[in-house]
């Protein structure tokens, strides 16, 4: 580190000396202004390289899974360099939807029936041009679960579809009820705790392509639902592997974090309004069972859940719902190889609630924790439009699970 500082000091001194003698600066009248700028830039670069850019922490409950990830997914051992001008958590979270590109993807929509008479919207990317897997009967399938109010059109979903297309895989996006434009046929939407619709979707995928291997990726609430599903099913699932991004592990801690003044202003109120907008779109069918006027007056996600979600799914109290929705309680029962990526600075999933010790007790689990990245941010590069750190984790893990899955059959 002394060598690094020394080199930057020499660079700053030499450039400053040159500019003071060779460059006329109208704004400052001398090279002193540029010297200050260069000095600040050198200091910022030092701070970034020393305090911001760091290798992620990889934690696993077993040596086999740990070694598998180190060998097959080199990204888990590489230094994560967040975009230098927006590495702060909230900025990463807020900018990601605007700065990342939305790859062009043409979906095939399918509506399937649920047990209660409702319908579930699936968006398929069949990838019929796949060279690696030309036979659709055996072409690997990747199931994608978006976040709380997300759909198949979210940039992070489109990026995973693009990565899967490059690998030759097929994708199917599970849109939660009522969020992607389809009609709500019954007075029921979705929540992180209830996995009945997800079970229906996975069974349908398996019946449709019985010979094709299936893996899944869940983002934020989609990841929470996926973990809760795995915790309940144990080994009784066709999924070969799972990757989860920015999951909220303890819903009590997540909501408490989002109720802090700044985060309530930046995130909580907006997400609450998105949830209310979805309820308003389906008001004719929902108002028969719920007090929609009361729901529309909610100011936070907690108030929305108290007035709507917990009631819809039959919980005695909202605390009962939050306990059941918290994936941390299901981790010990997961029997499928699962990699979870979280950022330590994610305000949606505070670092003290990341279940490090629980993960260490299950050989099927691995946690990858970056110092920065925010919530579904993980921006990297000078102008992070095309790819993020999260995209690279997804692509490498998906390829490892599909092509080296035989090594993951017994991780104990």
* Positions marked active-site: 220, 346, 375
Using DSSP bridges, classify how beta strands 119-125 and 170-175 pair: parallel, antiparallel or unpaired.
antiparallel
Question: At 313, is the secondary structure helix, strand, or coil?
Answer: coil
Rounded to whole angstroms, how far apart are CA atoms 222 and 191?
9
CA atoms lying within 13 Å on the CB side of residue 396: 18
DSSP per-residue codes, 61-90: SSHHHHHHHHHH-GGGGSPB-B-TTS-SHH
All residues at 6 or more sequence positions from 123 whose CB lies less than 8 Å from its CB, including other chains? 107, 108, 109, 110, 152, 172, 173, 175, 180
C-alpha 412, offset from chain centre: 27
Which residues make beta-bridge pairs with 144?
173, 217
Q: Tokens at residue 223, please?
A: 């990841």
Distances (CA, A) of 158 to 105, 110, 190, 408: 7, 18, 22, 27
Cα atoms found within 13 Å of the Cα of residue 78, Cβ hemisphere only: 14
Burial class (CB in 10 A: 0-12, 13-18, 19+), 290: middle
The CA distance from 151 to 175, in Å, is: 6
Token digits for 337?
């190889």
Cα 249 to Cα 151, 255, 331, 378: the distances in Å are: 22, 11, 10, 19
Q: How far is CA 383 from CA 82, 87, 192, 328, 348, in A?
A: 11, 12, 34, 35, 24
């Amino acid at each position: 580190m002394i060598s690094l500082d020394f080199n930057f000091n020499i660079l700053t001194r030499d450039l400053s000396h040159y500019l003071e003698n060779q460059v006329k600066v109208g704004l400052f009248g001398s090279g002193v202004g540029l010297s200050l700028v260069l000095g600040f830039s050198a200091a910022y670069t030092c701070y970034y390289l020393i305090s911001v850019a760091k290798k992620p922490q990889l934690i696993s409950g077993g040596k086999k899974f740990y070694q598998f990830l180190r060998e097959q997914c080199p990204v888990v051992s590489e230094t994560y360099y967040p975009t230098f001008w927006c590495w702060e958590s909230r900025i990463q979270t807020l900018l990601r939807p605007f700065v990342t590109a939305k790859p062009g993807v043409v979906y095939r929509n399918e509506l399937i029936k649920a047990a209660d008479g409702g319908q579930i919207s699936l968006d398929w990317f069949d990838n019929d041009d796949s060279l690696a897997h030309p036979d659709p009967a055996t072409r690997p399938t990747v199931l994608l679960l978006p976040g709380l109010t997300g759909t198949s059109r979210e940039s992070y979903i489109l990026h995973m579809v693009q990565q899967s297309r490059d690998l030759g895989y097929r994708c199917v996006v599970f849109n939660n009820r009522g969020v992607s434009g389809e009609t709500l046929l019954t007075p029921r939407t979705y929540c992180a705790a209830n996995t009945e619709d997800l079970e229906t979707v996975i069974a349908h995928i398996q019946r449709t392509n019985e010979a094709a291997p299936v893996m899944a990726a869940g983002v934020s609430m989609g990841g929470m639902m996926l973990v809760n599903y795995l915790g309940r099913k144990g080994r009784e699932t066709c999924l070969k592997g799972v990757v989860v991004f920015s999951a909220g592990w303890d819903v009590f801690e997540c909501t408490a974090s989002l109720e802090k003044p700044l985060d309530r202003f930046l995130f909580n109120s907006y997400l609450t309004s998105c949830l209310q907008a979805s309820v308003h779109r389906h008001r004719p069918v929902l108002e028969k069972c719920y007090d929609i006027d009361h729901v529309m007056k909610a100011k936070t996600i907690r108030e929305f859940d108290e007035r709507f979600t917990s009631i819809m799914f039959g919980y005695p109290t909202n605390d009962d719902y939050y306990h059941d929705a918290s994936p941390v309680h299901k981790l010990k029962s997961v029997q499928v190889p699962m990699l979870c990526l979280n950022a330590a600075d994610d305000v949606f999933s505070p670092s003290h609630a990341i279940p490090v010790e629980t993960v260490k007790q299950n050989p099927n689990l691995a946690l990858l924790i970056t110092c920065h990245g925010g919530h579904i941010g993980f921006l990297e590069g000078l102008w992070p439009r095309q790819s993020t750190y999260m995209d690279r984790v997804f692509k490498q893990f998906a390829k490892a699970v599909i092509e080296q899955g035989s090594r993951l059959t017994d991780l104990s």
